[in-house]
Amino acid sequence: MVATIAAVPDGDGDEEQQRLCATLSAVSTAITGYVRRDVDAHLGRATPTPPRDEHQLGRVLIALGNRLATRALHRDVTAVWNTYDAGIHRPTGEAP
């Protein structure tokens, strides 16, 4: 169905960003296939997705969600420190 959880990229930089986008694209394709198969199964045109595949997709989605949340947190902290280093000395978004 989708690549293993180990394929969910970690780290920062351009290469990691490209891998993250590629993983997001692959997962998007997998979700589309899952939904189509589910609809077809309900209409009697296909067999339901095996539980093993469903479980694997769920695990990849969780790992990817955790990676995105960690990345967002890192970017948020970096923005705050960049603001501090610029001499403004207040968290991003705080009124002057």
- For 7-24, the pLDDT digits (tens) are 555 556 788 888 888 999
Phi and psi torsions of 13, nearest 5°: 105, 170
59 in any annotated domain: yes
Classify residue 58: in a domain, yes or no: yes
Domain-located, residue 4: no
DSSP annotation of 48 reads: P
3 lies in some domain: no
Per the CB < 8 A criterion, the answer to whether 13 and 65 are in contact is no
Domain residue limits at 18: 12-85
Residue 96 maps to a domain: no
Domain-embedded: residue 73: yes
In a domain, 57, yes or no: yes
Q: Is residue 93 part of a domain?
A: no
Give 35-85 pLDDT, tens digit per residue. 999 999 999 999 999 999 999 999 999 999 988 888 888 877 776 666 655
Query: How many domains does the structure of the chain reveal?
Result: 1
